[in-house]
Chains A and B, each alone.
Chain A
Amino acid sequence: MIQNIKFIHCALPDIDFNEISIKQKIKIKANNKIKTISCMPFAVEIKSKNTKDINKQIAKINIQKNIALFFTKSKFFIFINKHIIEFNIKANKKNTDQFNPNNAIIINNGLDAAKCIRLKQFPILSDINKINLIEEQLKVVMFLTNSKNIAQLALAPIVYVV
């Protein structure tokens, strides 16, 4: 699990912290078509049960925070081109190039988010109010691993610790 990994520190990052990008390109297979979206590398758990409330929250969070992936207990949503696409959560496939909701992990800080991204697990925020903190902390980890973007973070040196 993510607790068992440790990033290797980079003493000479070739980066300006303020130029770090944490947008992620995600490929989604929907209705047998592959679509690519660029958004924050998190999903958000929506706790409402009412469909109208769910849709309203999704639209609001997307505008405010550029998050495009959402969960409820039994469903998964993608907000793309102002439309909401809804999926039932199914058994996972092994192809990690495609988003796999069964690889999702609830996180509380940016270091855990970084670990999820590195392990191709998918980080979920259960508390949308934490997103600014998590974004900042994620950028800190990226800075210290010499990762200018999410693609580089996904390849950052790590070790598994007992």
Chain B
Amino acid sequence: MKNQTSSRKLEHIKIALKKNTQFKITNQFENIELIPNKAVGKRVSEHNIDLSTIFLNKKINAPIFISGMTGGHEKTFKINLNIAEAAHELNIPMGLGSQRAMIEHKELTYTYNVKKYYDVILLGNIGAAQLVKYKSKAIKQMLEDVDADALCIHTNPAQEIVQPEGNLNFKNAFNNIKSIADNLDYKIILKEVGNGISKEVAKKMNSTNIYGIDTGGAGGTNWVAIELFRTSTSNFDIIREWGIPTAQSLIETRYAFNKFVTATGGIRSGLDVVKAISLGANACGIAMPILNAQKFGSNGIIKYLNLIVKQIKNEMIKLNCSNIQDLRSLQFNIKNPLKNILEQRKININLFQKKRSNFKK
């Protein structure tokens, strides 16, 4: 059954796959330099590296997950199924795209219902803008219908501004998120979709019961760019490169928020993952490369992620780190321009080095 939300989901996928929708600005991880672990007596090899970590109280094989992308159209079901098969095989979590479509049209639930086929750690997804209309009861049902393990609430004001059908009323968005976190018996993660979380927003979330924050920083897929392809106006070109790069957003978020933090936004290599973990991320989310890889089925996704894991291990050998905790203890240097920006943002980098691992597990 065709409807506006469902059609938009498919359009987004098509544009993301076919057009140039990446940020021109980088994720700023190139300005992070890790200093190898100098501990003697360590001999790190590919065979004795342990990448396992805890995600939502469950052990996963590597500190990566497949970030939520899609659902809500019959053609997106196969994508989610391929992702689920790969996530199950690799024992890493996966996210769903916004589930608004299945709340509006129950018959689209199947496009998200991957746990019917594969046992995975599943992150549900709804927009903060939808919480005006849909309260705890509806959200709970939405999560139960797909057997989700947690809920990501995405906030995307830049995308909504450009989107022809965008919702431009974010009044009470924070209170609505707070209310859901208070009333729903699910772990709630606030996520941006590519424009980043600042320390001001992260700090504000400390006063809520949310479980974690996903940076959703700039440097990868650009949702403003995607929506610019859907609109006939060029009025919003001025915000095409708007946002906080992922490395900056991760540091700001970790500096201000002491719970679960994941880094997404332009994560494209094992080196990006290693740097993000060292900066205090619990795990890293990857999206666009997975969307490309799934064109070759679940095997394409598995092949891609195995390459990322291999890259992570190679970097850890160079850094003399044999596990995730070793990574979190590494010292690092931050180069300009990122260093200069963090100083302007009043981030004490020495203090950050000390506190980045002191988060509630």
Which residues of A approach B to under 8 Å, CB–CB?
A: 7-19, 109-111, 133, 136-137, 140-141, 143-144, 157, 159-162
Contacts and interface: CB of A to CB of B under 8 A. Distances in A.
Nearest to A112: B238
Contacts of A13: 157, 170, 173
B155 interface: yes
A157 B198 contact: yes
Contact of A11 (B172, B195, B236, B341): B195
Nearest to B252: A8
B242 interface: yes
A27 to B, nearest CB: 29
A127 B215 CA distance: 40
B312 to A, nearest CB: 28
B198 A144 contact: no
8 tightest A-B CB contacts, nearest first: A17-B168, A111-B238, A16-B169, A159-B344, A11-B192, A9-B195, A16-B171, A13-B170
Given A17-B169, A162-B337, 6 more contacts: A8-B198, A11-B196, A16-B169, A140-B238, A140-B239, A141-B238
A159 B236 CA distance: 21
Given A10-B198, A17-B161, A161 B341 contact: yes
Contacts of B216: 11
A14 B168 CA distance: 11
A110 B243 CA distance: 17
Contact of A9 (B158, B171, B173, B174): B158
Nearest to B155: A11
Interface centre among B157, B158, B242, B244 (most CB of A within 10 A): B157
Contacts of B330: none
Contacts of A159: 341, 344-345
A9 B244 contact: yes
A11 B198 CA distance: 7
Nearest to B191: A11
A19 B192 CA distance: 23
Contact of A16 (B170, B242, B340): B170
B144 to A, nearest CB: 27
A19 B172 CA distance: 14
A59 B242 CA distance: 37
Contacts of A136: 235
A12 B128 CA distance: 9
B201 interface: yes
B273 interface: no
Contacts of B161: 17, 140, 143-144
Contacts of A157: 198, 200, 345
Contacts of B24: none
Nearest to A140: B161
Given A111-B238, A144-B242, A161-B337, A18 B168 contact: yes
28 contacts: A7-B242, A8-B200, A9-B243, A10-B198, A11-B195, A11-B197, A12-B177, A12-B204, A14-B171, A14-B172, A16-B169, A16-B170, A17-B161, A18-B168, A109-B238, A111-B238, A111-B239, A133-B235, A137-B235, A137-B238, A140-B239, A143-B157, A143-B168, A144-B157, A144-B242, A157-B345, A159-B341, A161-B337
